[in-house]
Structure 1
Amino acid sequence: MQSTTRKPRLAAIEYIRGISMMGVIGIHIGSQYIMNPAANIHLVALLETVTRFSVPIFFFISAFGLFYNLNINEPFDFKSFTKRRLKTVLIPYLAWSLFYLLHDGLLYGVGFPDPLHLLSILFFGNAKYQLYFMVILLWFYLLMPLWIAIVRRLTMPKLAVLLALQIAFDYWSSFSTGFNLYVYSLPDSSLLKPFLMYRLNYWVLHYFFIFLLGGYLSVHSQQFMAFMKARLRGLTCFFFFTLGGLLTYYYEKIFFDGYTPMEAINTAHQLCPWGIMYTIAASLFFFAVFTYVKFPPALSQALHLLGKHSYFAYLAHPLFITYIGLMIQHKGLVMTAPLIIGFYWGALLLSLLAATACRRLGTAVPLLNKLTIGVYPKK
């Protein structure tokens, strides 16, 4: 049986979950705004580029949390681990997938998919645009013995090699003309085509470095804490340097290469070299800030609430984006900058209110919390 030694709770992990959820909502609101041909490119950059750390940083904190109380030198109880993780991720994933398939089938009149199509949707995480993250996370969980074996042997030089491999792999997957032409040239009837088209939805290789970095730093948490405390200013500079690099890449594509904002954000994303470095910098920066910077009580409470309800808000926010968008469309309004900012805060606040209400209702009806966020009553 895998033994654990309980370490002090880290508020930084909870706070990072909250701001990451906010960033994901920003990305999805940006997808609405960018449909406006006259969209402000700077607001697009804020919504779609500054927020690009949001998804991969989840893998960092997930790995950090998994390894934090784990003794990697003892036998790993994979069965017990898998049982716990399937309850917290797989069941909510299936519940939310079926909810969105039923909801969207009724709303858009497309009906419920046939069994074969349903299996494909569930495998790739295509029931709604945010659910693919849970599919990748499940694959990370299923490969946990591999990650433990790698983390046991990791050193800083080996991490540097893995980073180089990550940059090379992501660049190939995202920007290889030959590979992408091959994928799109496959006939729609090809069984291989969806496995390659939706590779971002389940290939853990796209994010293996940030996950292993989280695991490695968690295992060496004492040294990591001391490093952050001593290098807070340097980590801040690193964060803004990489953010500047990613934004420069975005603006370069628009002003020098003639890209549209849509093309620019689909190039300057989290898998490009600057995006990978920005993710690493954001992971270290936010962890350090939320560990060693003292915030006013009101702000700390707000960060706590964001983190506590981030899981539900992440899963539910497309529902509110849909209905706010339909209301805007019904009124014939143009997606201007002020409107899209209000759109963002409306979707965020409604998601948090729904999360709070369901969490409270779930205390009386435990099945609700089990299905929506994988939280079970304490024994």
Structure 2
Amino acid sequence: MIYLDYAATTPMTARAIAAYSEAAQELAGNPSSLHDMGGRAAAAVTWARKVIAEELGVHEDGIIFTGSGTEGNLLGILSLAKGARGGKHIISCMAEHTSVHAALNTLEGEGYKVTRLPLTQEGIIDLASLEMAIRSDTTLISIQHANSEIGTVQPVKEIARIAKRFGVRIHVDCVQSFCKLDITDFSGEVDGITVSAHKVGGPKGCGAVYLNPRVRATPVFPGVTHEKGLRGGTLDTPSIVAMAVGVEEFKYNIDYQRQLRHDLLEGLDSSLFQVIEAPAENQLPNICGICMKGIEGQYVMLKLNEDGIYISTGSACDINSASGTKAILAMGKSLTEARQFFRISFGSETTHEEIATVNKALHRIATFVK
């Protein structure tokens, strides 16, 4: 088995599994309960909140635990948009995660106007176009830091500066970049950040969203009492503890990931494959977006699966879409090109030998079809 779908999810680490099991056994109390069992669970949640906040470089008071990165995006965007005073215009990107589009669609149904920006041929948002899209009634910008399909990294620090100059709130989806890139470079300048546990060796079904305590956020469901009134439901203490352990333990060697990327892409015949990427400074190296010319990405994925090699055709949240990856379409490429797309994503356990095996398998598929 060769697993190369780390952008979809990472296996839980042994320490995270052990932490989950121990918390499930020893911290059975409700963190909101006032007795000692509740107090011990609450203390563990407080510790986890500090771990996530420290990694993000923000104040722990702004950390809200969620059931996923998807929920974090929904809660963050809706709460920040509805909490803003004045206009009802939002700027985002065509290539955002499905959960972001779901939040924007909800707001459009409530009378908001949304501008969705395309990507350049390098998969980057054009800053001049973004600034030109800002109107007098713009209240929120929501941008993904690292794209989950092609791995391009947006200039969030510069976007945050533009937003601040115009007095516009900004939310950033950092699910793919969390614990891989330095988010503290811009975290102090934004109003919302979404992260997820299972991308960094933690459990599925757990995530967090940072909402700047200095800005007004309106609850999506008014009247709930947990997480500062922004999210209802008893906290999942074992998952939260395991998430924090995963964050503490997660290691991302960017130089090693660049070596793996170089090995994979250097071995691809340019007459058969097209690589979708940005310049190195704007590229998360462990996510490789590739098109096999004339062959649908789903076919490539299924043929590799027969060999015990596991990749994807894009975001798992879009797996049933017939239109191909959003990122490719946002770059102005055709629907045919989008359907040829597949994604290979590495993790810390990926080896050079595995990359060599995949390279051979890809060329075998291309030669067989041709």
TM normalised by structure 2 equals 0.26
Between Structure 1 and Structure 2, the one with more strand by share is 2
Between Structure 1 and Structure 2, the one with more helix by share is 1
Higher relative contact order (CA 8 A, sep 6+): 1
